[in-house]
Structures are given as structure tokens and as C-alpha cells.
Amino acid sequence: MTVSGPGQFNYEVSGTGPPLMFIHGLAGSFSWWQRNIYACREHFQTFCVDLVGFGSSRRLGRFDLERSIPLLLAWMDERGIERASIVGHSMGGLIAARLAAEAPDRVDKLVLVDAAFLGFDAGLFRRGIGLAGAIRQGPHDFWPVLARDSLRADPRSLFAATQQLLRSDWSHILSEIEAPTLIIWGDRDKVTPLKIGEAMHLAIPGSQLVVIEQAGHNSMWDQPNSFNQKLLDFLI
């Protein structure tokens, strides 16, 4: 069920149980989690948000990376969610980690999927990152999803998000994360290479790092069975 809700973005909710929030990456939407929700909704009430400027929230405003954290917290307040486990992919992982660091009392468990902490790999700025890289390494059945979400994203939000993502270096907040943290990475990720995940693992106290074989930047889509098993083993 897709809901237009408080906090200035739309979201999809399903299942019953403790709240589990999914946050998509650059130019994405909650449809990027469609291969994972079915496995989680038997144990959790899942909330997949579309960030402002993207997906079904395209017309709700222009994306702002810094503002996304208070907006998510406001949305949790409106929904009466005191604590939730949070799964964030790519840019969504960056946001999820910042939320966990700034509001530790609101985050039960944290899962960071190929998270875009680009400051750990300065070479990304020279090589360039983004949708082209994801397309080249992604499976063919993901291309239509990526193309649709890229086209329906607000162009101003897409440009702003890309610039803010390239300029952000939030690596200093990782040591402040208190929630149990699982870092999931695709072994073939060329958008955010594995060395970023390894650096995050060293920076987040007590974190776990698991690598999904035969997976690229969108590991939750590329190898959903392996991803879902590792996710649920950690969350349950």
C-alpha cells in the first residue's frame, strides 16, 4: 500500500511486527526493494520511503541531503514510531548512518548497503560515479527500473543530490553510531568499491561486514536470496 504521509514524502507499508525502514539511493524509489520486502514483511512492518524529489515524492519538493534526516525523524514522530531498524542503500545508507549517529535512541539496528561514504575513496571523484556505472554493472532486468526512476526524478533534485553527495564527507560520524550495525557489500561494486565498506567496518564500533558474491552496487537486487538471508539473520 502506497501512502501519502506526513514528513513530506510518500511511502509504502506492508506486513506486521516491529518497524523496519528502507531508504533508497540516488535517483531511486521504494521499488528498488521489491525483491526484499516479501521476505521481511513476515517478521516486520516494513516502510519503504520515497525521499523528497524522487519516485512518488517527486513533486513534494527539492531534495536536500542535510534536511532529509530531520524529515525522516519528523515522519517517525507522526507515525508514532519510537524506534525502528533502518536499511539504507548507497545515498540512503549515508542518510541512515547519519540518522543513527544523531538520534541513537530512535534506531534499533542499522544495515548499510553499498553505502555512499565517498570520502573513503578519493579516486571516485576523479573517475566519476553515478547511474552510468550502475547501469554498466547491473543486471538487465534492473535497467527498466533504473531508467523509470531516473526519468521521473525531479531534475533539480537529481542534480542537487549528486552535487551534495560528491561534496559530503560524513565519515567522522561513523564512530558515533551505537546501534548494532551490519554492512552489506557487493563484491563487484564499481560505483562504491568494497574498500569503502571495509573502511566503514573499521570505523563503526562492533560492526559486521558481509560481502555478497556476484553482486554489484545494487546487491539487494542482484542477489536477493543471499541478501535477504544475511539481512534476516542479522535483524531477527
Q: Measure the CA–CA gap between 31 and 13, rounded to whole angstroms.
A: 12
Q: How many helices (H) and strands (E) does the chain have?
A: 10, 8
Q: Measure the CA–CA gap between 145 and 55, rounded to whole angstroms.
A: 11
**Where exactly are the structural domains of the chain?**
2-235
pLDDT at 65: 86
Whether residue 218 is predicted with pLDDT greater than 60 in this model: the reply is yes
pLDDT digits (tens, 9 = 90+) for 189-202: 988 899 999 999 99
Grid cell, residue 202, equals 573499521
Question: Range with the lowest mean pLDDT among 45-49, 99-103, 168-172, 182-186?
Answer: 168-172
pLDDT at 1: 42
pLDDT at 124: 61
Grid cell, residue 224, equals 536477493
What global pTM score does this model have?
A: 0.88
Residue-averaged pLDDT of the chain: 85
Whether residue 37 is predicted with pLDDT greater than 90 in this model: the reply is yes
Q: Measure the CA–CA gap between 201 and 181, rounded to whole angstroms.
A: 9
Q: Measure the CA–CA gap between 181 and 87, rounded to whole angstroms.
A: 10
Name the residue among 28, 30, 27, 29 with its Cα closest to residue 13.
30
pLDDT at 23: 96
DSSP result, 106-143: GEEEEEEES---GGG-THHHHH--SHHHHHHHS-GGGH
Whether residue 142 is predicted with pLDDT greater than 80 in this model: the reply is no
What number of CA atoms fall less than 13 Å from residue 107's CA on the CB side?
27
Q: For domain 2-235, give the CATH superfamily.
A: Alpha/Beta hydrolase fold, catalytic domain (3.40.50.1820)
